[in-house]
């Protein structure tokens, strides 16, 4: 089989790597991909611009993939899955209508309210002045969460107890043209307490398979300090969540799939539910309509199934009976290496184009416990890999325990370097 993956980051590299392990897959093409991905056997890259519909479809048809996997949120939010299905090309990815679960946080909150899915209380506004007045009525000892309604690459959320910080966030999101995050509407949510968890399922419109659970770290610095990023790393928890919590998460998956079907927008693709867990109670923080990054790099190395089989069935709308295929025996820790200046929410330029040093043996990644996934990289005129984005690459390590995986991951990081390289040193510190 030949599989086409749309995307360019670590998530797509991890998916491509996992699919390359299938005996039924001869070739994985990632578009646009990045040159670092080609360290993985069977994986190649092809630059196709999804933003030009007719040319995009023509190029995809020329490649003759057996099915397409859409990695990032932007093409999903712009209806690319609909284009492919309209051309009779099987695809793993929700329609434009179903993608609104992520594309609009307010749509998602209203959906959860309608279908009795547990979530935090909320309020919305389109005007900064109205937002300021609302904030003045709150007891900031309880804290507040301010979210951009529109897609913001994982950086459109601010959690704070500081009134001035909350107000400046409202200004930035709605009125500040110099801010990298722009939205027409914002969402205020009560602050939830507990431990965050991400849960993943693969859906075919009617049924789903559970892919697993992961905990990630969003803040740029240790001890959860600094601004939010797209993700600095994470781990696969062992012995958590409890079976009682897992059943409640299954209820969320089922209510979501049934609800989207009732809305006339059946959900086909990856469903990512961000949760807050307090003892045995859960609340949904948000939906994503694709695999997470870095959670994909955490789950793929531990998934003990032929992923290709399940993706192809989902693309065809034929997963069959719902089941849990997640790994329960091992743990994985993933650590992201970023460029100096990331996440650059104030527009400060990142320090890029620095040569990346990494062990040559990673060109043939045969070790089942260590994996290197590339994201923001390119090649210079000397054909050397250089950093070209905020999140440059990440190391995944698999162990019998989380502690073992963490130790292995941090030991391996010493073998990698580029000027200005930054990473958190407290990933999986439990």
SS in 3 state form for the chain?
CEEEEEECCHHHHHHHHHHHCCCCCCEEEEEECCHHHHHCCCEEECCCCCCCHHHHHHHHHHHCCCEEEECCHHHHHCCHHHHHHHCCCCEECCCCCCCHHHHCHHHHHHHHHHCCCCECCEEEECCHHHHHHHHHCCCCCCCEEEEECCCCCCCCEEEECCHHHHHHHHHHHHCCCCCCCCCCCEEEECCCCCEEEEEEEEEECCCEEEEEEEEECCEEEHHHEEEECCCCEEECCCCCCCHHHHHHHHHHHHHHHHHHHHCCCCCEEEEEEEEEEECCEEEEEEEECCCCCCHHHHHHHHCCCCHHHHHHHHHCCCCCCCEECCCCCCEEEEEEEECCCCCCCCCCCCCCCCECECCHHHHCCCCCCEEEEECCEEECCCCCEEECCCEEEEEEEEECCHHHHHHHHHHHHCCCECCCCECCCCCCCC
pTM (2 d.p.) = 0.93
Which stretches of the chain drop beneath a pLDDT of 70? 154, 361-367
Q: Two tokens at 9?
A: 């980051």
Pick the closest to residue 180 from 339, 343, 422 (CA basis). 343
Render pLDDT for 100-141 as a digit per residue (tens, 0 to 9). 999 999 999 999 999 999 999 999 999 999 999 999 999 999
Are 181 and 210 in a shared domain? no
Residue 18 domain-assigned (yes or no): yes
Q: Alpha-carbon torsion 40, 46, 52, 58, what sign?
A: negative
Residue 281 domain-assigned (yes or no): yes
Q: Which of 135, 158, 189 is the last residue of a domain?
A: 189
Domain of residue 374, residue span: 331-413
Q: What is the rounded distance in angstroms from the CA atom of residue 15 to the CA atom of residue 312?
A: 13
Render pLDDT for 339-360 as a digit per residue (tens, 0 to 9). 999 998 777 899 999 999 988 7
Q: Two tokens at 25?
A: 């897959």
Are 309 and 349 in a shared domain? no
Pick the closest to residue 40 from 27, 24, 53 (CA basis). 27
Count up the domains in the chain and report the number. 4
* CATH number of the domain enclosing 173: 3.30.1490.20
pLDDT at position 363 is: 52
Q: Which of 303, 324, 345 is the last residue of a domain?
A: 324
pLDDT at position 321 is: 83
Q: What is the rounded distance in angstroms from the CA atom of residue 156 to the CA atom of residue 150?
A: 8
pLDDT at position 227 is: 87
Q: What is the rounded distance in angstroms from the CA atom of residue 384 to the CA atom of residue 79?
A: 36
Residue 158 domain-assigned (yes or no): yes
* CATH number of the domain enclosing 395: 3.90.600.10
pLDDT at position 366 is: 47
Half-sphere exposure of 364 (CA within 13 A, CB side): 1
pLDDT at position 359 is: 83
Q: Which of 272, 298, 324 is the last residue of a domain?
A: 324
Q: What is the rounded distance in angstroms from the CA atom of residue 193 to the CA atom of residue 14?
A: 31
Residue 100 domain-assigned (yes or no): no
CB 156, CB 116: distance < 8 Å:
no
pLDDT at position 322 is: 85
Residue 272 domain-assigned (yes or no): yes
Q: Which residue has the tokens 């043939």?
A: 364
Q: How many CB atoms lie within 10 A of CB 213?
A: 24
Are 160 and 130 in a shared domain? yes
Contact residues for 246 (Cβ-Cβ < 8 A; gap 6+): none
């Amino acid at each position: 089989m030949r599989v086409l993956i749309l995307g360019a980051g670590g998530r797509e590299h991890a998916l491509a790597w996992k699919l390359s392990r299938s005996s039924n897959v001869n070739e994985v093409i990632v578009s646009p991909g990045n040159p670092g991905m080609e360290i993985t056997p069977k994986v190649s890259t092809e630059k196709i611009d999804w933003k030009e519909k007719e040319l995009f479809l023509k190029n995809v048809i020329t490649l003759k993939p057996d099915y397409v996997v859409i990695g990032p949120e932007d093409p999903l939010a712009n209806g690319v899955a609909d284009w492919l299905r309209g051309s009779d090309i099987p695809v793993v990815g929700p329609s434009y209508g179903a993608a609104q679960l992520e594309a609009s946080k307010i749509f998602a909150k209203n959906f959860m309210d309608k279908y009795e899915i547990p979530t935090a209380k909320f309020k919305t506004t389109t005007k900064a002045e109205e937002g300021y007045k609302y904030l003045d009525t709150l007891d900031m000892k309880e804290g507040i969460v301010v979210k951009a309604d529109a897609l913001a690459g994982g950086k459109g959320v601010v959690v704070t107890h500081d009134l001035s910080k909350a107000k400046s966030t409202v200004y930035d999101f709605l009125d500040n043209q110099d801010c990298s995050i722009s939205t027409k509407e914002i969402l205020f949510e009560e602050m939830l307490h507990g431990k965050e968890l991400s849960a993943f399922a693969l859906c075919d419109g009617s049924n789903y398979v559970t892919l697993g659970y992961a905990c990630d770290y969003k803040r740029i610095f240790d001890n959860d300090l600094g601004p939010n990023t797209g993700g600095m790393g994470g781990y696969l928890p062992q012995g958590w969540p409890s079976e009682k919590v897992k059943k409640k998460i299954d209820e969320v998956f089922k209510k979501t799939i049934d609800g989207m079907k009732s809305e006339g927008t059946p959900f086909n693709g990856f469903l990512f539910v961000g949760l807050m867990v307090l003892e045995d109670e859960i609340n949904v923080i948000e939906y994503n309509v694709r695999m997470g990054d870095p959670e994909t790099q955490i789950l793929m190395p531990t998934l003990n199934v032929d992923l290709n089989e399940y993706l192809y069935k989902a693309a065809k709308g034929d997963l069959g009976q719902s089941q849990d295929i997640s790994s329960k025996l091992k743990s994985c820790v993933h650590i992201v290496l970023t460029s100096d200046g990331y996440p650059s929410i104030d527009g400060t330029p990142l320090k890029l184009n620095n040569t990346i040093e990494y062990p040559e043996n990673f060109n043939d990644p045969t070790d089942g416990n260590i994996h290197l996934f590339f994201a923001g990289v390119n090649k210079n005129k000397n054909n050397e890999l250089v950093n070209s984005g905020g999140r440059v690459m990440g190391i995944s390590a698999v162990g019998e325990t989380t502690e073992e995986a963490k130790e292995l991951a941090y030991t391996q990081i010493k073998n990698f370097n580029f000027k200005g390289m930054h990473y958190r040193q407290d990933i999986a510190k439990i």
